[in-house]
């Protein structure tokens, strides 16, 4: 990955103009107007890579092409810069400023290679979109060239490209929630009446989506003004159980339900089951392979952490069939050590 712009060895120019919508500064204050939408958006811009949003249909010239040709390409395609490349290698870029100087200096018919900008700020295709957004906010450029790990030019990205993909992904997310989020809010009644039921499918080794169910549960609880301490514990348990299924099982379902002032997170997987449940609940025990561990998962703390944050914890497993874990919580604080009852 390329070095940050304030580090030695990094380039120092890009394409001015064509800024599109305003860049998002991730270091700035949180977006007002609630937590759910910003959380979904932040999750998305950290998950998406530059390769997912960049334009790969490139208009380029070689170093011998006249600046006049670059001017014509910009005018005809309403773009603010033309990359100069040969055999896939990026040599520089001709920007609108370069064209203006050429017109004023009377050398518009000279080769691009003689007057192009050669000190470039570039992005790499495996960088997260959040990184690209910081660049747009910092440098106020409209576009950045994108290189792969072999230092070959593979695309160019603008803020409009990012906005278009984010809008598409947000639309898909809404559709996914409408299909997969089977929420039933029937009102808090007397007796054993159900208040909320949500079910989320969990797919084996789907690390890209692992944690989304836990995040949605957290948002549901926050929107209903649940005590933050309780919300945090439920979110931790949901995340650990969801990730545990993703890493160790053949997939399953994470269910969240609320009834009679209590919440329960239930993880039911489709196998392979555990022969020694007591061993699996010890700190640091894991059957994850080296590949999963290299990704930062499979540390063996999922079940122990879930048990620690839960008021009630139950696990049943049958080898060859599957495992069901139930973590229960009182929605009113003051039932655990260190939590004061509400005033």
**Model pLDDT for residues 264-322, shown as the tens digit of each residue:** 999 999 878 888 778 777 777 776 666 666 666 667 788 888 999 999 999 998 898 89
Q: What local confidence, expressed as pLDDT, does residue 331 receive?
A: 84
CATH architecture classification, 15-168: Roll (3.10)
Give the phi and the psi of residue 114 in degrees, each rounded to 5: -85, -25
Q: What local confidence, expressed as pLDDT, does residue 64 receive?
A: 96
More confident residue, 99 or 42: 99
Q: What local confidence, expressed as pLDDT, does residue 274 receive?
A: 84
CA atoms of 53 and 167, how far apart (whole Å): 11
Q: How would you label 305-336 residue by residue, b for 16+ Cβ within 10 Å and e otherwise?
A: bbbebbeebebebeeeebbbbbbbbbbebeee
Would you list the domain boundaries of the chain?
15-168, 182-330
Is the model's pLDDT at 178 over the cut of 90? no
* Rounded alpha-carbon distances, angstroms, from residue 122 to 78, 137, 305, 319: 21, 15, 42, 52
* Rounded alpha-carbon distances, angstroms, from residue 274 to 137, 175, 279, 317, 320: 50, 35, 9, 6, 8
Q: What local confidence, expressed as pLDDT, does residue 196 receive?
A: 63
Q: What local confidence, expressed as pLDDT, does residue 311 receive?
A: 94
Strand, coil or helix: 102: helix
pTM, entire model: 0.45
β 262-269/312-318 pair status: unpaired
CA atoms of 107 and 163, how far apart (whole Å): 37
Q: What is the CATH number of domain 182-330?
A: 3.30.565.10
Q: Cα 95 from chain centroid?
A: 32
| Radius of gyration for the alpha carbons in the chain, expressed in angstroms and rounded | 26
**Is residue 60 within 8 Å of 77, Cβ to Cβ?**
no
Token output for 198: 């949500």
CA atoms of 115 and 98, how far apart (whole Å): 7
């Amino acid at each position: 990955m390329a070095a940050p712009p304030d580090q030695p060895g990094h380039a120092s120019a890009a394409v001015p103009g064509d800024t599109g919508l305003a860049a998002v500064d991730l270091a700035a204050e949180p977006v007002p107007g609630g937590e759910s939408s910003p959380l979904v958006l932040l999750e998305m811009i950290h998950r998406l890579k530059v390769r997912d949003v960049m334009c790969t249909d490139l208009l380029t010239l070689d170093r011998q092409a006249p600046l006049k040709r670059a001017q014509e390409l910009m005018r005809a395609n309403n773009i603010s810069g033309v990359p100069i490349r040969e055999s896939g290698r990026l040599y520089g870029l001709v920007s609108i400023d370069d064209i203006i100087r050429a017109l004023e200096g009377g050398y518009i018919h000279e080769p691009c290679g003689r007057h192009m900008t050669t000190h470039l700020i570039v992005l790499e295709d495996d960088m997260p979109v959040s990184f690209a957004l910081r660049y747009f906010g910092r440098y106020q450029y409209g576009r950045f060239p994108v290189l792969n790990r072999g230092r070959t030019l593979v695309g160019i990205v603008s803020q409009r490209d990012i906005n278009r993909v984010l809008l598409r992904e947000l639309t898909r997310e809404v559709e996914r929630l409408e299909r997969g989020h089977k929420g039933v809010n029937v009102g808090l009644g007397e007796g054993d009446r159900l208040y909320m039921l949500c079910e989320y499918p969990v797919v084996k080794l789907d690390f890209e989506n692992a944690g989304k169910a836990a995040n949605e549960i957290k948002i549901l609880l926050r929107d209903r003004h649940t005590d933050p301490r309780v919300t945090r514990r439920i979110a931790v348990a949901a995340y650990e159980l969801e990730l545990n299924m993703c890493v160790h099982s053949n997939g399953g379902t994470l269910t969240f339900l609320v009834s009679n002032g209590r919440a329960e997170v239930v993880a039911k997987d489709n196998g392979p089951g555990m022969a020694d449940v007591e061993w699996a609940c010890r700190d640091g025990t894991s059957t994850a392979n080296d590949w999963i561990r290299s990704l930062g998962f499979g540390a063996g703390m999922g079940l122990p952490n879930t048990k620690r944050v839960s008021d009630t914890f139950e696990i049943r497993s049958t080898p060859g069939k599957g495992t069901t874990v139930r973590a229960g919580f009182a929605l009113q604080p003051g039932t655990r050590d260190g939590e004061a009852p509400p005033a």
